[in-house]
Structures are given as C-alpha cells and as structure tokens.
Amino acid sequence: MRNGNHTISQIQVHIVWVTKYRYGVLKGDIQKRCREIIIQICDAEDIRILKGVVSKDHVHMHIEYPPKVSVSDIVKKLKGRSSRKLQEEFKELSKQYWESILGDRIWSMEYGKCKSRDG
C-alpha cells in the first residue's frame, strides 16, 4: 500500500510483452542484463516488482505502481529504455533486428495487461 497526504492506494497490474518476431534472444548474459535494467527502471520510477520473469522471448511482471503514472507510460519506459540499453551493450541484437520506419527495437509493439487491484 502507498500512503499519500490524504490517500491510500494499492494499484497492481500484470503485464506481459514479447520480443519482436518472438525471437528467443533473452538468454544468458542478455537475459541477466535485461533483468538488471528492468529492476533499475522500476527502482527509479517508484515501481515495486511483486513477481517477474524474463524468459527467452517474453517478460512477465506483476507490479505495484503509484497512481500518478499510467500503465502505458510504465510499459513505454520499460520497453524503450531496456531495448536501447540492450542493443548498445549487445551488438548481436542489432544484427537480429534490422532498421525499419519505426526504428530498431527488440520488443514487439503490443503488450498485455490485467489490472488486479485498485484501492
């Protein structure tokens, strides 16, 4: 639960996103670094990770977040920052994904969400 001056809130969501073309690139050092990056982003944005898994082609997260941010903003930050950092650090990812009108990215544009509690 989060306590504000005049509020108490507990907003949780389960989000899932996949790699572009469902390529299984999140293995070994890339998987470990992806996990570290996601944890850093969540710490910086006051997001609590309740459960999370980085699989070879997707990420599952159950998080609690402050009411001042939207789920779409959270996902945008998680996907955008992690994609950029992973491609900077692991050049083999740039070979896997080519330049397009939308730019290089390792994540698919879609994501799924299911709000579990809003109080």
The superfamily CATH assigns to domain 2-118 is Transposase IS200-like (3.30.70.1290)
8 A C-beta contact, residue 38 and residue 94: no
**pLDDT-derived band at 111, boundaries 50, 70, 90:** low
Range with the lowest mean pLDDT among 3-7, 44-48, 111-115?
Answer: 111-115
Q: What pTM did the predictor assign?
A: 0.83
**pLDDT-derived band at 63, boundaries 50, 70, 90:** very high
Compute the distance between CA of residue 63 and CA of residue 82 in angstroms, rounded to an integer: 17
- Measured N-to-C along each axis, helices 71-89 and 28-44 cross at an angle, to the nearest 10 degrees, of 140
Smallest Cα–Cα separation from 77: which of 99, 52, 46, 100? 46
Residue 70 has pLDDT above 60, yes or no: yes
pLDDT given at position 119 = 45
Residue 10 has pLDDT above 70, yes or no: yes
Mapped onto helix, strand or coil, the DSSP state of residue 102 is coil
